Amino acid sequence: MRSASFTATSLILYLFLFLLRRGTLTTGEITPLRRGFYAGVCPEAEQIVRETMRRAMTREARSGASVMRLQFHDCFVNGCDGSLLLDDTPTMIGEKLALSNINSLRSFEVIDEVKEAVEKACPGVVSCADIIIMAARDAVVLSEGPNWEVKLGRKDSLSASQEASDNIMPSPRSNATFLINLFHKFNLSITDLVSLSGSHSIGMGRCFSIVFRLYNQSGTGRPDPHMDPRFRFKLNRLCPISGDGNITGRLDATPVKFDNQYFKDLRMQRGFLNSDQTLFSGDARTMAVVKRYSVDQKAFFADFVEGMVKLGDLQIDQPGEIRRNCRVVNNAPREKTGEALASFTLDA
């Protein structure tokens, strides 16, 4: 009896060590991130991601902005762990249904396409969390923005939490003070806030996110006073008060080119979202950075890259794996998938 128990224990230990060596399972220790992480085990990974992103953006240019946005929504909630990509299960409501994500985040199928291509080349090696980081960088590069080396080596989470996302992700209605305080909790500066908000240099926004600005800013029954009248007239036509909230408008005047036009638009009071325009109109500290970027695109690019790297560094201690399918965990018992993640210690 004792021998049988010893054999079973040894088998479990062997399987754990085997999975750990293969990189499919980790303990709760934070994984050290580094550039060139896959050079020895999947040297073609980054090229596969970029080429797949190129094809996706050729089919639909907007998908670049949509994929880039995934990094923000993933990393701000319990760190960059791919939890955003998990579909709901009978015992887990994931982040896709969170208030800031539902009917808003898109292009998950592009990440699926990237993952499938990477898995064909290097099965069980590259995490979905790292794919988000690489694909977001490539979305910028393929939109004529800056290029940079990304730090890799993340593991994928074993669960996701709608509540965690609802508790942390900012609203399009957010003002500058709220955003400054939120970023500070992640050790991200005012410069990081403004440069990373420049991700809205590409992409589209929904009428649902701005109707309050057009017709009832801060409950006044009047439009946002920090809006160019001619720009507001165009938005009124695009987004009537009783219209379709899913109609989209440009986030800046050059929505498929990553440049500093976004900041020029803010200075002319042509920001699409309240959380954008407030950076110029709502706080002198953020206004100064907006002014600098509007006349110095190189400075914006340099600070944006630094901010994206810092954002990608956000991690927490939790078990992880390399998912075979980004939408589901690998062979996890059903009762385990609904377990809540450890709360993110924001001020650590």
Positions at the binding site for heme b: 200
Strand partners, 248: 206
The answer to whether 322 and 167 have CB atoms below 8 angstroms apart is: no
Catalytic, 226? Answer no
Binding-site annotation, residues for substrate:
170
Binding-site annotation, residues:
74, 77, 79, 81, 83, 95, 170, 200, 252, 254, 259
The answer to whether 99 and 166 have CB atoms below 8 angstroms apart is: yes
Q: How far apart are CA 92 and CA 276, in angstroms?
A: 33
Which one from 73, 115, 155, 264 is the annotated catalytic residue? Answer: 73
Q: How far apart are CA 276 and CA 198, in angstroms?
A: 9
Q: How far apart are CA 275 and CA 288, in angstroms?
A: 16
Got the DSSP string for 133-197? HHHHHHHHHTTT----PPEE---B-S---HHHHHHHPPPTT--HHHHHHHHHHTT--HHHHHHHH
Binding-site annotation, residues for Ca(2+):
74, 77, 79, 81, 83, 95, 252, 254, 259
* Sign for the pseudo-dihedral over CA of 282, 287, 289, 293: positive
Q: Which residues are catalytic?
A: 73
